[in-house]
Structure 1
């Protein structure tokens, strides 16, 4: 049950934990658990201001607050609050102003004054400042018992992945997109890479949508493209936030691809209606690598695809539309072209060669970012 609308706390013994949580990790979680279990309830104060160290990695204050609320959504003994420190003197100054703001938050969270407040801190200088300004109890947390920090995670999230609390992992996930025209082998490539790296992967939502509603490419209307774009976005998002995500995720197409197909099949007027909503979703997608497979293999008639665009000229035109859209969204620096030719005797269409090239590129990329080589 969500604690989104939980009434104010009426408990008498309250633990207080504050921090930036950029990101929240197992050390933070253990401290919050201690504060909750040694008291009747716990108030968590998520602190920050515009331009802080969290925002630098895509975790602004509001996002951190929301992820902490998500983390403790089913815990009625933990109330997550937010403190915007804008206008306050920067640490180590401003203790008086900061403490007054936190005390106001605590008061607003309580039905009546608590009989006992206990602060849980991991810095000894915090003890000194709080002892001077309050009569509350203070518990010092020895961080060496679990030697992890948000700084270490920000510097190398893949290395310390298991310490990152689940709602925050999405920000650090290395998401890898594979796109291309039909019959290029992208769907099989995504599956094979996902299975090799033991990572979540997605399918092409448009294909699933068409099969579910028994509609062919040439029969699609503007509403269909709208649903398919949103569906592909959710499809990829669910894989990114999945507990199975260990730092790598592979996607078979994205909203940008849906946008291009909308331009291809719909009238200019219909395309103009949907393009802005597609652009909003495209801006939210974060791709580490974009593998592009050009139309260098024969088009396969599976009795489902639209064969009126199966000729080589049409396929290359669609490929160029993909590249133009990638350029328009300033994504070309992420692109890795998979156009490898295979051994004529054993790999005449190059499917294995492109799989090996993609696999090695991912291995090298992860190693360069984290220092870890994944076999």
Structure 2
């Protein structure tokens, strides 16, 4: 009897939306709602055709419902009374049908009797009473958007990067643009990578091949196949770690095509596992640095002859072209390279 009374007093809340995209206003509403009920169910509603259209119109890549659900789940993982579900709901120009049928699907998905429903729109009250009944309490959270002045519509209209501070940490890696700085040896890749990261206030990934070469102590000529595995997978691991901390952009010094190039030059052949890594890459911009700056000896570099530099440069370019990877050629002195790179990157994050 006592357990039944305790169960009857349990408050169960519901907060739903499309979350295209998920933002801090949503997270604030979820946090506030979770503090007001014993259990809170957050429901991600989805209709693939509608969602693809919304993303396309906003210039966003399609954000599937599982990714949205994961972002919210990660963001609320320390809120023990919050459960995040996904519900496919009908999309129709008929508002009556969409609200009532969508509401029915929500009720089916939540395994307990709802006592509270949360939103940021008081105008939803009429619909909620029809769907959930007069006994359910509608709580409106920050309707004026005073705490977090943001909405998904605003982000879709203005762009992700114009509203970067309103994107929750769990979602930022997905939107972070990855810029690969590539080229043959002694073309200024490492210097440019560090400088760009400093200027844009973000993270960068060092060339892992250099790290491994320095560890074995005698340059690239003694690298074995196992070393190349360490370079490829170690570099990718570093990339994933830095991506979690990056600010809009992540700069990568070299990548798997460059590693394959070095394998071909020093090991004598291309390695299949590196090719697999190349196929899995998804960089947003490749800046290919031409070898038109002074060659600098550092104990690990080999191809100082100008003719050989041009030949190796042509080989690396061909390797990118054969794989259908587009790149932007960057040439000139160090100042010109910096300015041209900044122009390309600025265009990338203002689209």
Shift of 1:318: 3.4
- Partner residue of 1:138? 138
Runs of 4 or more, structure 1, over 6 Å off, are none
3-state SS of paired residue (2:293) = coil
- Partner residue of 1:358? 341
**Residues 224, 50 of structure 1: alpha-carbon distance in 2 compared, 3 angstrom cutoff:** farther
Q: Matches of residues 1-375 of structure 1 in structure 2 within 5 Å?
A: 12-51=10-49, 52-53=51-52, 56=56, 57-58=60-61, 59-85=63-89, 88-90=90-92, 92=95, 93-107=97-111, 113-114=112-113, 116-124=114-122, 126-135=124-133, 136-141=136-141, 142-145=143-146, 146-154=148-156, 155-214=158-217, 216-242=219-245, 245-266=246-267, 268=269, 271-280=271-280, 282=281, 285-287=282-284, 289-305=285-301, 307=302, 309-332=303-326, 335-340=327-332, 350-363=333-346, 365=347, 369=350
**Residues 211, 80 of structure 1: alpha-carbon distance in 2 compared, 3 angstrom cutoff:** farther
Q: Which runs of 5+ in 2 are unaligned?
A: 1-6
3-state SS of paired residue (1:290) = strand
Q: Distance in 1 between matches of 2:122 and 2:316?
A: 55
Contact 2:221–2:267 (CA<8 Å) still a contact in 1? no
Contact 2:181–2:189 (CA<8 Å) still a contact in 1? yes
Q: Distance in 2 between matches of 1:321 and 1:14?
A: 64
Q: Give the TM-score normalised by the residue count of structure 2.
A: 0.82
Q: Give the TM-score normalised by the residue count of structure 1.
A: 0.78
3-state SS of paired residue (2:161) = coil
**Residues 255, 11 of structure 1: alpha-carbon distance in 2 compared, 3 angstrom cutoff:** farther
Q: Which runs of 5+ in 1 are unaligned?
A: 1-8, 108-112, 341-349, 371-375
Q: Distance in 2 between matches of 1:165 and 1:321?
A: 43
